[in-house]
A and B are shown apart, each in its own frame.
Chain A
Amino acid sequence: MFDLFSDAAKVAAQMEILSSEYGFALWETLYSLALEVLFAYVIGLPLGVLLVTGERDGIRPLPRWLMAVLNGIINLLRSVPFLILMIIALPLSKIIVGTKVGTAATIPPMVIAAFPLVARMVESSLREVDQGVVEAAQSMGAGAFQIVSKVLLPEALPSLISGGTITVATILGYGAMAGIIGGGGLGKMAINYGYYNFKFIVMWAAVIGLIVLVQVFQSLGTRLANKCDKRLSKKN
């Protein structure tokens, strides 16, 4: 490994790759991340809400079999290893985005892997909301939709943001694996150049980029969650 570093020509070649491709890889990582998080929440958020409201003594109980099916699907998707899930789901990409390769193709499998996580995260956030507050809203004549939109979600907001931060970090991690099936971004850079082609400088640069991204998102998320949590606000 140190031989490679000592070889000035190879170092220069790697620097060349970095300077020409790093920016684009970072961009690809960020935009696929944004799309994946967006769609994971489009599916996962309502699902998480249903998991709480549809319970037997929830605010709008659903048939027991339906709840069992929802829980079953989520558990199933959560237990299949991501790498396998991704390969199984690739044909779906062909249907949805029209291709089985490239960054766009990795988005559907990523969403399928991430939405069950989001659903569980949302579920546990909503369960933290004091049942008494829900009862108070019911006593005021609130309907199920009003309870979700005006009580459960706003009261759980800090916790939802924390969950969102975890989701972002997890999806960033999945992104590296998506590199294996041709997804673009820093993860692909690390695997393709670094691991497969022994360009360790490129690999480390990509990995460090991912580390920095996770750090940034984590601290932003934590700060945002704290800022909007009125239970923590300072005394007047």
Chain B
Amino acid sequence: MRRPFNRWRSRARALGESWRVQRDQWGVERDIERVAGSGEPLLLGPWTGEVGYEVLYWLPFLRWLVAAYRVDAQQVVAVSRGGAAPWYAGIAGAYVDVFDLVAPDAFARRSRALASQTGTSKQQAMSPLDDELVAAAAARLGYRPRVVHPSLMFRLFRAFWSGHASMSFLERHTRYARVVAPAVPTTGLPREYVAVKFYTARSLPADPPTRAAVRSMVMGVAARTPVVLLDPAVRVDEHEDFDLADIPNTTSAQPLMTPATNLAVQTALIAGARAFVGTCGSVAWLAPMLGIDTVAVLADAAFLHAHLHVGRRAFHRMPGAGAFSPCDLGAVTRLGLTVGS
């Protein structure tokens, strides 16, 4: 008697869970439809979170949204930060940079405060900062558009990240495409180089062995090819850059960047590189979309499983994408290989 009852109970629980996931998804889809299907001008954003989520999920989600709802790009304005305008080409006819609305220092300070208050840097709901940015953007545009806020995307894909929605669900709500880099003057940089960007993250902690391995790796790459370091002009989140500027044959790209242009400059520099090597996250997801072979370095894949799966599938299917090769530092060491040799 107990076994059939347990089976029945667990089946009911599974059914209830599936129903909850479906109901949430339909709820978000209704919200998206209400905004995107309104026929009114749209504001996409403001995106103030991590670059990795923006590149791997937000942009493909927006590409799907404008295609699915046949939104005229001229009716759309994207709002992001740090000169990300080139990423939104083909999605939005206009772009407003957050750093034109708020000073970078003030933005960084408020973002950090918000993240420590909510416990996440993900835009799960419209924050007071987002409200201010939307109002400022609307004042600049001269009209009040409907807002497609990043929280819609976070709500829609939450079930996928937790393993409760399928890959095909994510793929039905995204369109992955090559990104075209802007033309940026690259005075003072070598003609041929490898672009490198290492920052600390949960997947690449700042402990001494990791620091030593990263340093050794960059020294090895620089011994073969000039290296351009993409250390940014401004830091708005909790990540820190690895200090690699003293390694011979490396050039910092920092003089080429301002807070308002840093992402555009990094995009252009990656697109012009022979390869990209860096922390698995952030622009490491962008580099293959620019057609550049990428080595994404990590020490702990625990928080990356779903993203690695998405990246692998997307880059394999994207015509002209660069090869995406994750590299586990621990595995390299266990194999007895010297990093950077």
Are the chains A and B members of one assembly?
no
Residues of B at the A interface (CB closer than 8 Å) are none
Tell me the A residues contacting B by CB distance below 8 Å.
Answer: none
